[in-house]
Chains A and B, each alone.
Chain A
Amino acid sequence: MPKPVTEIKELYKISNEIRENIIKSLEKAGSGHSAGPLGMADVFTALYFNVLRHDPKRPHWRDRDRVILSAGHIVPVWYATLAEAGYFPKRELWTLRKLGSPLQGHPEYHSIAGIENTAGPLGQGVSVAVGMAYSLRHFAKSNQQVYVISSDGEQNEGQTWEAVMFAAKHRLPNLTMLMDRNNIQIDGATEEVMPLDSIRAKYEAFNWHVIEVDGHNIKEVVDACNQAKAIVERPVCIICHTIPGKGVKFMEGKYQWHGKSPKGAEARVALRQLRTMGGKISVIDSE
């Protein structure tokens, strides 16, 4: 099991690296979602480099914590994080969405090391995660944690609430949802498409414990996950307030970048901005 990275500065370097690889892989793919993956890079970094009990060299390790991605369209951040953590070589990232690649446009269970579920149609991953958490706790009697990555747009799906009710009924203490609250979905602002406020009150009414964090403050995310582990009487929803497209100025906060990828020049500008952000201004390579 790798040692958790505890230096916050180090964690930010990692998340910046992940963002660069998201941009590069999307640019090479020629299609895919940009805003969500960039927005969740800090949360994924917190999970895989500090919070999780896992081992990239033993992806099938029986006692590992599970990460389930329910918002399947942000999978580029999952791939980039898994590669960064050493689950598979980074060169695989450049095959994203290409024919024959294990890096499918939406995640496919076990297509490559570390991918724990199939997702795309929203709402399904939350159920799968709840089923896993129930099974690990009640059948396997283990204390493994299940982290499910959901999104605000996904709360539109009825299935999400079926799963949320079930998790509350069984007070699943080993289940933590990290919800990407970035306020956008494909057709526009979440509050215009289908208002969610107060999403906190909704989860509390369903008997979940709710924590709200700045999804770009890695320390806050790590602390919230640790707090969630300590809350044993109910499942926990960590609402991660994020900026869609975080790190790339022309994408930040723009719902138009929900479902498209940066083309050549756009990608070069994006990388330049990210590298400046990481404090390592460098010549942009031509790859």
Chain B
Amino acid sequence: MKISAKQKLVKNLFSKKIRMIPTRDGYGEGLLVLGRKNPKVVVLCADLAESTRSQGFANEYPERFVEVGVAEQNLAGLAAGIALTGYVPFMSSYAVFSPGRNWDQIRVSICYTRANVKIAGGHTGLSVGPDGATHQALEDIAITRVLPNMTVIAPADAIEAKKATIAMAQMEGPAYIRLGRAESEVFTTEKSPFEIGVAQVLASGTDISIIACGPLVYTALVAAEELKKKHKIKAEVINCHTIKPLDVKTITTSAQKTGVVVTVEEHQIHGGLGGAIAECLAEHVPVPIRFVGMPDSFGESGEPAELLSKYGMTMEKIVSNVLDVIKVK
């Protein structure tokens, strides 16, 4: 597999010793950097400071941390009010609650208002495992990307999450960042490029485009390696960390070259990254697509890896979808 040198990925990409850190930790680190650099950044949390990793900021900058209690609708409204006085609020909770429970407040008080609010949704995908379906956010990309004025980011690892957090504060307007609870492979480095709205071609290939977001980007890389070794298929792997605005140029260029696409995400197959890619390609480069993701179902209790396996978000599933779609090329 041709890994792009430009992307400066870790050297031990496929080693068992690769570092494992949850993306939420990157968010916490990003907040600390912002705390030091930008006195306008403030953080709000709805009774989940430790598990959303806002606690570090709260310890360092207590005068800029606001504990809201279990009240996500108010969380969004307060953040909007704070933004309208010139500050840059980050509001943290679990994604099932925010943007889940407070979607209307995000729609009106934040997006329609163009309030400069940054929303961090934790415990997304199946990463919350044993807590079960109520806490597994599998619809958050769909409900945020449909909102006008919103930017939607799903970082692939902890280092990218840190960069994304910092970049969100530098842009003007509402933005959502999707974070995971479970440990996941750290495969990018501090030197890897990151820019909101610019997808990264991590590995170039000519037979299939695998477009992924979140920690499953790593699984997509493993699948690409498998495809090369076992099936002599050259896969292009794209880290589409920004779902909105979508990097139309990178996506269409790749689809034009390869002619078939598989999307990969820890989210419902409807309305998420796959939906965004399908909308884009249907308009610009109509090619066959397969979607790897949650198959229109609620989750259940179990370990994250067990759940990913049961619901089909694995390397094997990516490979089988590639083999299937490549036949209709």
Contacts and interface: CB of A to CB of B under 8 A. Distances in A.
Interface of A: 68, 108-109, 116-121, 123-136, 138-140, 158-159, 162-163, 165-166
A130 B78 contact: yes
Given A121-B104, A127-B73, A127-B74, A134 B113 contact: no
B293 to A, nearest CB: 31
A66 to B, nearest CB: 8
B63 interface: yes
Given A124-B109, A127-B80, A136 B85 contact: yes
A109 B78 contact: no
B85 A135 contact: yes
Contact of A165 (B63, B71, B82): B71
13 contacts: A119-B108, A120-B108, A124-B104, A124-B105, A124-B109, A127-B76, A127-B105, A130-B74, A132-B84, A139-B64, A159-B74, A159-B77, A162-B69
Nearest to A169: B69
B312 interface: no
Contact of B71 (A131, A134, A139, A166): A166
Given A165-B71, A166-B68, A131 B79 contact: yes
Given A128-B80, A130-B77, A159-B77, A139 B85 contact: yes
Interface string B44-87: 00000000000000000001101011010110111111101111
Contacts of A133: 81
Given A127-B81, A132-B81, 11 more contacts: A120-B108, A124-B108, A127-B105, A128-B77, A132-B85, A139-B85, A139-B87, A140-B85, A163-B74, A165-B69, A166-B78
A108 B85 contact: no
A108 B107 CA distance: 12
Contacts of A138: 63
> Which 6 pairs, one residue from A and one from B, show the smallest C-beta to C-beta distance?
A127-B77, A131-B81, A162-B74, A131-B78, A162-B71, A132-B81
Contacts of B71: 162, 165-166
B29 to A, nearest CB: 23
Q: Is the interface of B mostly helix, strand, loop or mixed?
A: helix
Interface residues of B, number: 28
Contact of A128 (B64, B69, B84, B114): B84
Contacts of B85: 132, 135-136, 139-140
Contacts of B112: 108-109, 118
Contact of B81 (A134, A140, A159): A134
B119 interface: no
A166 B72 CA distance: 12
B77 A163 contact: yes
Contacts of B34: none
B69 to A, nearest CB: 7
Q: Among the interface residues B42, B77, B81, which one has the most CB atoms of the partner chain A within 10 A?
A: B81
Nearest to A128: B81
A200 to B, nearest CB: 22
Q: Among the interface residues B76, B105, B109, which one has the most CB atoms of the partner chain A within 10 A?
A: B109
B105 to A, nearest CB: 6
Contact of A159 (B64, B86, B105, B115): B105
A59 to B, nearest CB: 13
B69 A131 contact: no
Contacts of A120: 108
Contacts of A139: 42, 64, 82, 85, 87
A29 B79 CA distance: 34
Contacts of B105: 121, 124, 127, 159
Contacts of B114: 109
Contacts of A123: 73, 77
A128 B66 CA distance: 14
B312 to A, nearest CB: 38
Contacts of A166: 68-69, 71, 74, 78
Nearest to B109: A124
Nearest to B107: A121
B274 to A, nearest CB: 30
Contacts of A124: 73, 77, 104-105, 108-109
A158 B113 CA distance: 21
Contact of B84 (A117, A159, A163): A117
B109 A118 contact: yes
B109 A127 contact: yes
